[in-house]
Amino acid sequence: MIKVVKKKIRPVVKFAKKSCVFCKKNLEIDYKKIDLISRYVSSKGKIVSRRFSGNCAKHQRKLAKEIKRARFLSLIPYSGRFQ
């Protein structure tokens, strides 16, 4: 006897694609803008990925570079949230 096994079909969930804030508002990324840069650093001090931030590749690279520059100049900490 052959058993027929029905597969459970998961519903397809589509998320709204995030758009790059820097492209939309024509913002300039600068290491001196600590309030802007600190939004893209997690509570553990990691740089937030493109998937979660919604930035385009060009601005994500620029953002990572400016965060590293601000860390080097001690404007934002390497670990933990800036208070």
Q: Cα separation of 47 and 40, whole Å?
A: 6
What is the per-residue pLDDT for 82?
A: 56
What is the per-residue pLDDT for 76?
A: 92
For residue 30, what is the DSSP state?
-
Q: Cα separation of 59 and 45, whole Å?
A: 19
Q: Which CATH superfamily is domain 21-72 in?
A: Ribosomal protein S18 (4.10.640.10)
What is the per-residue pLDDT for 83?
A: 58
Q: Read off the pTM.
A: 0.76
3-state helix, strand, coil in the chain (%, to 5): 35, 0, 60
Where exactly are the structural domains of the chain?
21-72
Q: Is 45 left (phi over 0), alpha (psi -120 to 50) or beta?
A: left
Which ranges of the chain have pLDDT less than 70? 15, 81-83
